[in-house]
Amino acid sequence: MATTNGPERLGAYQVSYVIWSRQDGEEGQRRRELSESCFGGTTPEAAAAHAARWAKESCRTAGGWRFDGVEIAATRYVYTMGRCEQCAKFRGPKDSGILCLCEGLRCKRCGRRNIWRPGSTYYDEEKGGFWHVSHVAVRSWCEACVRAREDAKKRFARERPWGDECVLFGPGTSITSAEELRQLCAEPLIEALLFLAVWAPGAYGTDPERCDSTFVVLSFRVSENTSAYVQFLSDPLHQTVLWEVSSLDYQPGLADRLTPDRQAALVACGFEIGARPSNYRREVVIDSDASAGEVAHEALDILFEVLGYRGEEALVLHIEAERVVEEGGAAGGFEPGRLAVLLRQEGYGLRVVRGAEPTEDRRLEVRFGDDVVLTVASAADGRRFKVFTRLGRLARGDGRITEARDHLHLVAFVPHERVLKGGSRL
């Protein structure tokens, strides 16, 4: 159940208003434009204030014209909206067409029902007005997931070394369940983990102690000298990501939280303690949106259920992208699973499938829409990809390449570096 501090009921009012604009200059002409729209508010005056603000923002100012004021002509009550107990959005009476998110679409990224239903109208609480959702260009990702992806792309596009720290939400938030914690901060953690695990081909050091690495730490402060955290480490020499949870070896102040039962719960989840001193450690594979989401959700569950996070302290996401320069480095490993992650970050729909023979290399299927499929497989020299497409039946079947006759047309040999350069796409 969503929570909010706003009013539980709002009136919807039809507001008629006049927008005045004036041409630049002392003798500039003055013109007016009559408009009428529906706005929400606890009172007619509040709805009129929303209308005045909207008029100023929407006034046409091109060609030397500027906004010169607004007059409210009339305000008429239409109906009352109520806030939904489940999604916390307003909805109108049955015949009003004003829907909340409970009747919306599920985001294909996070799975939550938080995309407004096409053909519906919804109330924008920030603007105080109403928006109609077109049937055209239906969204597949919600705003939170799109924003998290764009923020992560900008953050990780910087040249190493760099560090970044952000507060996912401040202290004083009341968290009552692990699911609520997921709702609040899963998206930025998922994106951080997805980018953490991706390493483009290049020259890297062969010594794990002298190699580029990326750390992601999600933590909160329990006391002046004690922190609780989950952290992740990735480098280009390993296919897995090292996942750690804070232990009493390094954080003895967590004794009241890391009880024997909770420590046993970590072991049951696959964590183990190394040579002391040591954190709880576990190796995980992150090679897709799904695996990044699973790890992020489990990490947030551990924060809530094992480390006892309830929102009293700020939850901080810290990322450190380290750079170690070493002459004569060896080329980093590269295989279809990693290319899949890179291309998924650019919005392509794809999957990695295994060939018909057990010894056959995995192939990468790249989908453009619903009917065009490219298949990517390593070339014999191990430094390029062969890219295939099918000439026939493009709009039918599931696109799996399982027989030799499916490989009908060789499109190109694509060097790894070309695939990964900014702006280059298959």
pLDDT of residue 105: 92
Parallel, antiparallel or unpaired: strands 349-354 and 362-368: antiparallel
Task: Please state, in angstroms and rounded to a whole number, the distance separating the CA atoms of residues 97 and 114.
Answer: 17
pLDDT-based confidence at 112, cuts 50/70/90?
confident
Q: Read off the pLDDT of residues 360-385 as tens digits, 9 standing for 90 and up.
A: 455 555 555 555 566 666 555 555 55
pLDDT of residue 78: 95
**Higher pLDDT, residue 423 or 103:** 103
Instruction: Give the mean pLDDT of 229-256.
Output: 92
Task: Please state, in angstroms and rounded to a whole number, the distance separating the CA atoms of residues 123 and 402.
Answer: 50
pLDDT-based confidence at 195, cuts 50/70/90?
confident
Q: Which residue has the tokens 């040579």?
A: 275
Cα R_g (the chain), whole angstroms: 27
CA angle 406, 409, 413 (to 5 degrees): 120
Decide if pLDDT at 415 tops 50: no
pLDDT of residue 1: 53
pLDDT of residue 380: 53
Strand partners, 316: 167, 219
Neighbours of 399 (CB within 10 A): 20
Task: Please state, in angstroms and rounded to a whole number, the distance separating the CA atoms of residues 276 and 303.
Answer: 23
Decide if pLDDT at 217 tops 90: yes
pLDDT-based confidence at 422, cuts 50/70/90?
very low
Task: Please state, in angstroms and rounded to a whole number, the distance separating the CA atoms of residues 319 and 312.
Answer: 22
CB-CB contact of 48 with 72 (8 Å)? yes
Q: Which residue has the tokens 């009493």?
A: 248
Q: Read off the pLDDT of residues 36-46 as tens digits, 9 standing for 90 and up.
A: 999 999 999 99
Nearest Cα neighbor of 13 from 74, 77, 72 is: 77
Amino acid at 48: A
pLDDT of residue 385: 55
Q: In whole angstroms, how far apart are CA 346 and each of 152, 156, 214, 289?
A: 12, 13, 21, 12
Mean predicted lDDT score pLDDT of the chain: 78
CB-CB contact of 108 with 102 (8 Å)? no
Q: 135: buried, middle or exposed (CB in 10 Å: 19+, 13-18, 0-12)?
A: exposed
| Core vs surface per residue 258-288: b (16+ CB within 10 A) or e | beeeebeebeeeebebeeeeebbbbebebbb
Cis peptide before 161 (omega within 30 of 0): yes
Q: 186: buried, middle or exposed (CB in 10 Å: 19+, 13-18, 0-12)?
A: buried
Instruction: Give the mean pLDDT of 289-307.
Output: 93
Return the H-helix or E-strand segment holding 323.
none
Amino acid at 18: V
pLDDT of residue 194: 86
Instruction: Give the mean pLDDT of 296-308.
Output: 95
Instruction: Give the mean pLDDT of 292-304.
Output: 94
Task: Please state, in angstroms and rounded to a whole number, the distance separating the CA atoms of residues 396 and 411.
Answer: 20
| φ and ψ of 267, to 5 deg | -60, -40
**Higher pLDDT, residue 415 or 32:** 32
Decide if pLDDT at 204 tops 50: yes
pLDDT of residue 358: 45
Neighbours of 398 (CB within 10 A): 8
Neighbours of 129 (CB within 10 A): 19
Return the H-helix or E-strand segment holding 196.
helix 178-196
pLDDT of residue 290: 83
Decide if pLDDT at 398 tops 70: no
pLDDT-based confidence at 212, cuts 50/70/90?
confident
